[in-house]
Amino acid sequence: MGCLGLFLLFTVVPFVELTLLLRLSEALGFAETLLLVVATGAVGAALARLEGTRVIGEWREALARGETPAEGVIV
């Protein structure tokens, strides 16, 4: 991804996200939108924790077998 791609990623995506949140707030109301944002954040954090725990467990198993852990490694 070049400089233009990064620029678009860090400028256009947040702008679109903010626009969608404002429209959602107009449609549902502020409290409901805030609750939805907090709920999706909590679900995302829980899923990230579960996935991280799974990958660490697989790493430990691979190291116990004397292998190099492969899954979860970003190249």
Please provide the DSSP assignment of 2-40 as one string: -HHHHHHHHHHHHHHHHHHHHHHHHHH-HHHHHHHHHHH
pTM score over 0.75: no
Mean pLDDT of 51-72: 89
DSSP state of 75: -
pLDDT at 74: 66
pLDDT tens-digit series, residues 32-59: 999 999 999 999 999 999 999 999 999 9
Work out the mean pLDDT of the chain and round it to a whole number.
91
